[in-house]
């Protein structure tokens, strides 16, 4: 009779792996337990697949956290009610149209839905200097206080103010 071939794995460990060969070299045989008196477990540690991820001490998972259909329906109803209240407010106001002003008001009422720009746009808007008042700019840029004009003391005791020469801009052509 033919000798049955050994399976390529022993309890989940490949027979050709380095770990299996090392254990064989140290005297371990298939079917024996690990330990001084061969009393340990004979197979590998079986791990269960954890399907719940609620944490320690929780017996049942919270079904609301996984099924948000009810929450979505509540949000849809709120959104519809908010648009209906805005429409009712527009109907109550008498329409006032005078030429071009009516078209500008209608353009203001139509709000373009844009995606949120986030922090980048706020940071860039903060860098724009055009939006600052002159008083704010003076505080930020700290203008130097003009120095008082120099005085020329003469021998006669008469003090005459001497104006500082104005700076000239030179153009290189």
Structural domain spans, the chain: 7-48
Pairing status of strand 159-161 against strand 151-153: antiparallel
Backbone φ and ψ for 68, nearest 5 degrees, come out as -105, 20
Q: Confidence class of residue 36 from pLDDT cuts 50, 70 and 90?
A: confident
Q: Confidence class of residue 121 from pLDDT cuts 50, 70 and 90?
A: confident
136, pLDDT greater than 70: yes
| Average pLDDT rounded to a whole number, residues 55-61 | 70
98, pLDDT greater than 60: no
Whether 63 contacts 31, CB under 8 Å = no
144, pLDDT greater than 70: no
pLDDT of residue 24: 85
138, pLDDT greater than 60: yes
| Integer Cα distance of 106 and 55 in angstroms | 54
pTM comes to: 0.23
In terms of pLDDT, which residue wins out, 129 or 53?
129
């Amino acid at each position: 009779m033919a000798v049955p071939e050994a399976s390529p794995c022993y309890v989940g460990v490949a027979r050709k792996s380095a770990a299996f060969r090392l254990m064989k070299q140290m005297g371990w045989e298939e079917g024996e337990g690990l330990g001084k008196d061969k009393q340990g477990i004979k197979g590998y540690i079986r791990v269960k697949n954890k399907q719940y991820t609620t944490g320690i001490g929780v017996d049942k998972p919270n079904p609301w956290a996984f099924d948000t259909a009810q929450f979505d329906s509540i949000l849809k109803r709120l959104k519809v009610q908010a648009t209906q209240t805005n429409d009712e407010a527009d109907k109550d106001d008498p329409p006032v149209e005078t030429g071009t002003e009516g078209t500008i008001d209608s353009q203001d009422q139509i709000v373009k839905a844009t995606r949120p720009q986030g922090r980048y746009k706020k940071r860039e808007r903060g860098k724009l200097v055009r939006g600052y008042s002159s008083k704010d700019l003076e505080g930020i840029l700290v203008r130097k206080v003009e120095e008082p004009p120099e005085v020329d003391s003469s021998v006669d005791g008469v003090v005459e103010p001497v104006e500082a020469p104005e700076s000239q801009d030179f153009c290189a052509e």
